[in-house]
């Protein structure tokens, strides 16, 4: 199976869902900035749950400190992260207060700590070892991988977590 087609199809589906949530006009610019990294997390993790289940040769799943060897654990862990990211961007864009924003703050805070902590640990213990591996199709080397992980995931997810925390206290 060509997993790039699965990735393209899922990107179209989740991109459409993102736009549908935007269409409700309940979002703010801060909310949009908080929602986008969750869309990226969903897109980056959209194939792993399917491939972990359907492809016995799949290498496994890795995100920050989270490492899962091939098998059903890949589908469970990557699928959970994927669904939490989708829930987060929908909650943010539909401006859901209360428990929804707590979920966003918790999810995004843990993701930022997980990815950022692993990135920092790797830079200290094995400089030059950072990489982004998208299946067997694309490997991004140390410097661009570090900049991408920090600029696209760690800092924006940290912002999203703080933004959501502020929305929970403003709603109560």
How does pLDDT run across 119-157, given as a tens digit for each residue? Answer: 899 888 887 777 777 666 678 888 888 888 899 899 999
Domain containing residue 83: 3-171
pLDDT on residue 136: 67
Q: How many domains does the chain have?
A: 1
Residues counted in the chain: 172
User: Who wins on pLDDT, 110 or 15?
Assistant: 110
CA distance 34 to 142: 26
pTM of the complete model:
0.83
CA distance 34 to 166: 12
pLDDT on residue 172: 47
Give the residue carrying structure tokens 């997810």: 157
Q: Which residues of 100-121 are buried (b: 16+ CB within 10 A; e: fewer)?
A: bbebbbebbbebbbbbbebbee
CA distances from 163 to 22, 35, 116 (A): 18, 10, 18
């Amino acid at each position: 199976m060509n997993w790039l087609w699965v990735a393209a199809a899922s990107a179209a589906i989740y991109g459409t869902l993102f736009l549908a949530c935007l269409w409700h006009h309940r979002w703010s610019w801060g909310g949009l900035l908080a929602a986008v990294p969750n869309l990226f997390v969903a897109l980056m993790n959209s194939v792993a749950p399917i491939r972990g289940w359907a492809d016995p040769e799949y290498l496994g799943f890795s995100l920050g400190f989270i490492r899962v060897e091939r098998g059903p654990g890949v589908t469970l862990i990557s699928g959970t992260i994927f669904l939490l990211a989708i829930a987060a961007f929908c909650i943010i864009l539909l401006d859901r207060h209360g428990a929804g924003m707590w979920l966003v703050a918790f999810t995004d805070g843990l993701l930022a700590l997980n990815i950022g902590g692993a990135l920092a640990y790797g830079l200290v213990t094995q400089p030059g070892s950072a990489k982004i591996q998208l299946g067997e199709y694309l490997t991004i080397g140390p410097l661009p991988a570090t900049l991408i992980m920090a600029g696209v995931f760690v800092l924006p997810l940290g912002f999203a977590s703080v933004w959501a925390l502020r929305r929970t206290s403003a709603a109560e």
